[in-house]
Amino acid sequence: MTKTKTKQGKILLIGRPNVGKSTFLNNLIGTKVAITSPKPQTTRFPIKALYENEKGTIIFIDTPGIFGKAEDSLSKRINQNTFQALHEEIDLVIYMVDHSRKRDFEEAKVLGIVRKIDKPKILVINKIDEPEPTYLPQYKFMEDEFKDVFLISALNQTHVKPLIQRIFELIPEKNRQEGGVLSEEQQKGVYPLLNIDSKIFVAELIREKVFLMMGEEIPYTTTAIVDEIIERKNGTKFIKARILTTDNRYKKMLIGTQGRKIKEIGSYARKEIALAVGKKVFLDLTVQTDPHWQKTYY
């Protein structure tokens, strides 16, 4: 029996916070796999997601952005999660930078890490859809270090196709495994995710809505926990979840006058969850104060 060969590879996405790694991955795969917001600490742990086309299979590892100065315990933990991902067996590195932000100590730290990884590397300069401000000259020297450089818009998918084509050229060719690269359990999943379960994914969607809808009002010492997902006989998914925050004053803000804010957050989260799973969803969402949630859950 002849074994067919296909391109297969693991790709590490690395960069400082908010350069657009999660936006790149979501738009490439065509569904939400990583939550996004304009603030740091959005991605808190590495997310592995599957991308497939006629050329082969790529497993992307989307790492949390590396903080130059991790002063609080959550930032330190996020950095640790990223450093652990660096020890994965990978075939290629995508180092993403944002030309609309100045190079600084944080960027220098990430570049130093990338230089130590002995794998093929691609420099991706993101957000070319934002012409101003630009600090592109500050990144020009990097073109001498990286054989492959792509200027893209992760948001608009500009120049992403040639980038993917180059990735497939660089990753190894392997024998196609019987049954594909996914386990039987992963094949049952709704999302192209390889390393997080449905409770974590739903919690991430809720957390995203908190960040997007509360703006500057709520500090990033807020998280979401899903305690229960039950499939009812009528086909509805019942989800019991909590938003945790560190202080009662933030709890009041999250609940809002006469519970309006928590209803609004819950409504937006429920609609997105229902769209993802293709079923009606009942979301029981409450807010609790827990000053120690970072130690308990991270």
Is 195 annotated for ligand binding? no
Is 15 annotated for ligand binding? yes
* Residues near 245 by beta carbon (within 8 Å), at least 6 away in sequence: 218, 221, 222, 251, 254, 287, 288, 289, 290
Is 126 annotated for ligand binding? yes
Domain ranges of the chain: 5-187, 198-297
CATH of the domain spanning 198-297: 3.30.300.20
Q: What is the pLDDT of residues 48-87, one digit of tens each?
A: 778 888 888 888 888 765 544 445 554 455 445 444 545 5
Enter the tokens of residue 145: 């270090």
Q: What is the pLDDT of residues 244-271, one digit of tens each?
A: 998 999 999 999 999 999 999 999 999 8
Say what the pTM is: 0.66
DSSP 8-state code for residue 193:
B
Is 19 annotated for ligand binding? yes
Is 279 annotated for ligand binding? no
Is 21 annotated for ligand binding? yes
Q: What is the pLDDT of residues 115-171, one digit of tens each?
A: 988 889 999 999 999 989 999 999 999 989 999 999 999 999 999 999 999 999 999
Q: What percent of the chain has pLDDT over 70?
A: 76
* Residues near 79 by beta carbon (within 8 Å), at least 6 away in sequence: 64, 66, 67, 70
In CATH terms, the superfamily for domain 5-187 is: P-loop containing nucleotide triphosphate hydrolases (3.40.50.300)
Is 66 annotated for ligand binding? yes
Is 128 annotated for ligand binding? yes
Is 207 annotated for ligand binding? no
Is 181 annotated for ligand binding? no
Whole-number mean pLDDT of the chain? 80
Is 129 annotated for ligand binding? yes
Is 148 annotated for ligand binding? no
Is 17 annotated for ligand binding? yes
Rounded Cα distance between 197 and 41, Å, is: 20
